[in-house]
Amino acid sequence: MLISIKPSILLIVLLILGAVSAGCSTFRHSPQSDELPILSQDELIRPYVKLGRIQVTREVYGTDYAIAADITAWGLSAVRQEAVKLGADAVMLPEVTGRSTTSGIFPVTEYRATGFAIKFK
C-alpha cells in the first residue's frame, strides 16, 4: 500500500518543520537573579580578565535517565557553579558535549561542559 503525497503539500510540511526547528535553536536560557550570565564574545563590551578555563566531566555507566533529558541545562549549571567558586562575574563561550562508547557490554556516556570564567575590570 503506497501513499501518494502532492509535492506542494510536502513542501509546505517541510517549510513548517524547518521554521519550527529554527525557532527552537534561537532559544536562550534567561538566568535567574542568582545565576551568572552566559555571554558570547560579541556580548562583551566591558573590559574583562579571564580567570580560567572550566571543564566539568561526568561519566555515566549504563543509562542515565535523570540527566539525559536536558544535558545542556546540566552543563551550563555545572560551569556556573565552578565559576562562582573562582569569584567570576560571568561565563563566556560555553560548550556542552556528549560522547557514547561501550566498555565491554556496558554503554558508557561521557558528558563534558566547558567555558571561561571572567571577571570584569
pLDDT in tens, 14-68: 656 555 555 444 334 444 546 889 998 888 888 999 999 999 998 887 766 655 5
Query: pTM (2 decimals)?
Result: 0.63
Q: Which letter does DSSP use for residue 36 in this model?
A: P
Q: How many alpha carbons lie under 13 Å from residue 93 in its C-beta half-sphere? A: 12
Domain-wise residue ranges, the chain: 30-120
Cα distances from 79 to residues 38, 55, 59, 70, in angstroms, run 10, 7, 16, 15
Per-residue pLDDT, 102:
77
Q: Which CATH number fits domain 30-120: 2.10.260.10, 3.30.497.10, 2.40.110.20, 3.30.110.70?
A: 3.30.110.70
Contact 117, 83 (CB under 8 A): yes
